[in-house]
Amino acid sequence: MLKRRLGRTDLSVTAISFGGLPLQRCTMEEASSVLDAVLQKGINFIDTARAYTDSEEKIGRYLANRRSEFYLATKSMARDKVSMAKDIDLSLATLKMDYIDLYQIHNIKTREDLDAVLAPDGALEALIEAKAQHKIGHIGVTGHSVPLLIEAIQTGHFSTVQVPFNFIEQDPLKELFPLAKKLDLGIIVMKPLGGGQITHTDLALKWILSHDITAAIPGMDSVEQVQENFAALTDYQPLTPVEVALLSKEAKEIGPNFCRRCGYCMPCTVNIDIPQTFIFHLQYTRYGLKEAIPERYANLPAKASECIECGICETRCPYDLPIRERLKQVAADLEK
């Protein structure tokens, strides 16, 4: 089992670990099977968040009595001290646990976010107090903006940094990862499969493992996905030139501006399932499912053409995607 040291936390975690965002798409029974498979395989690091609807609840229901088998990370979007303190206690209660190994400030997206967190009576103060009270073990930060994360970790307050990194998104390699290693921070990779867009799962994960990161946390919502992701961990070999070429071809086809299915854009004002709508469009345009997809799309309760262009979704998207324009294209292609 390939394990790596999570920076100065000194926790030894499996290099492929569990991302809990898709767990919110599972029923309670499905979540039980997925989480059991994770621990059965020996994966020992589980990451979730307050924002992932009932992900914490599912983990608490099925894993609270197996607490010694894994390290636990969660995170909050709170920016002020009072709200963060409340979220820490909510996490503990929902997870049915009295200790969280890593609590992270979630999704630093703007300068205002970072300033608020670090200000007097900001979220960081609540985390420092929770650590002193032994409610949490370590403090981390997550985000999609590499420049803001670089600034955040230079403050010295954080023991881990979590950022998107995959064969398509390689920006962290230039400055963030070297700085994190210099500061002895654990490096947690989110979106290692591009939110499910990268289909060469085994190759994509092995490519990530060839870099000096601590753990990749692909999201998993089925036992089959657990098994598939675990294979990269147990049968790790450097990629061949042919395999690298396969990844390069897929990266070129996907392009840099794609939906990662994180769901941060939701809920939609008029109840459009934006990630699912984009998945259908991708399957229609990229995979040539010209007959099946329009039929499935037609069953959605709200269509892309119903967008009122309020723009709220775009303010939430961590990748600043032009969601309104893309919904217009979906409508043009799938509502003929």
**What is the CATH number for 237?**
3.20.20.100
Does residue 297 share a domain with residue 152? no
Task: State which of 193, 215, 250 marks the end of a domain.
Answer: 250
257 within domain boundaries: no
pLDDT for position 287: 67
Q: What is the pLDDT of residue 258?
A: 79
Residue 279 in this model has a pLDDT that exceeds 90: no
Beta bridge partners of 72: 46
In a domain, 262, yes or no: no
Stretch 221-235: mean pLDDT: 87
In this structure, the answer to whether residues 239 and 308 fall within a common structural domain is no
Residue 310 has pLDDT above 90, yes or no: yes
Residue 301 and residue 244 in one domain: no
Length of the chain in residues, anyone?
336
Q: Are residues 57 and 129 in the same domain?
A: yes
d(CA 50, CA 264): 12
**Domain-located, residue 211:** yes
Are residues 182 and 307 part of one domain? Answer: no
59 residue type, one letter: I
pTM, rounded to two decimals: 0.88
pLDDT tens-digit readout, 22-66: 999 899 999 999 999 999 999 999 999 999 999 999 999 999 999
pLDDT digits (tens, 9 = 90+) for 89-147: 999 999 999 999 999 999 999 999 999 999 999 999 999 999 999 999 999 999 999 99
Residue 140 CA, distance from chain mean position: 14
Domain stops at, among 189, 216, 250: 250
Domain with 157 in it? 3-250
Question: How many domains is the chain partitioned into structurally?
Answer: 2
Which long-range contacts link 257-260 to residues 24+ away (Cβ below 8 Å)?
A: 257/319, 257/321, 258/168, 258/194, 258/195, 258/197, 258/282, 259/195, 259/197, 259/321, 259/326, 260/164, 260/191, 260/194, 260/195, 260/197, 260/319
Is residue 38 located within the same domain as residue 78?
Answer: yes
User: CB neighbours of 241 closer than 8 A, spacing ≥ 6?
Assistant: none
Tokens 């989480």 locate to: 35
In a domain, 60, yes or no: yes
Residues above pLDDT 90, as percent of the chain? 81
- What pLDDT does residue 230 have? 87
198 vs 124, residue with greater confidence? 124
User: Does residue 212 sit in the same domain as residue 328?
Assistant: no
305 within a domain of the structure (yes/no): yes
Q: Say yes or no: 47 and 189 in one domain.
A: yes
Q: Are residues 314 and 235 in the same domain?
A: no
Tracing tokens 């309104």 back to the chain, one arrives at 324
* Averaged pLDDT of the chain: 93
Tell me which of 250, 282, 317 is where a domain ends.
Answer: 250
Rounded-to-integer distance, Cα 207 and Cα 225, Å: 18
Same domain, 14 and 121: yes
Q: Which of these ranges, 11-20, 152-161, 243-252, has the smallest mean pLDDT?
A: 243-252
Check whether residue 54 and residue 174 sit in a common domain.
yes
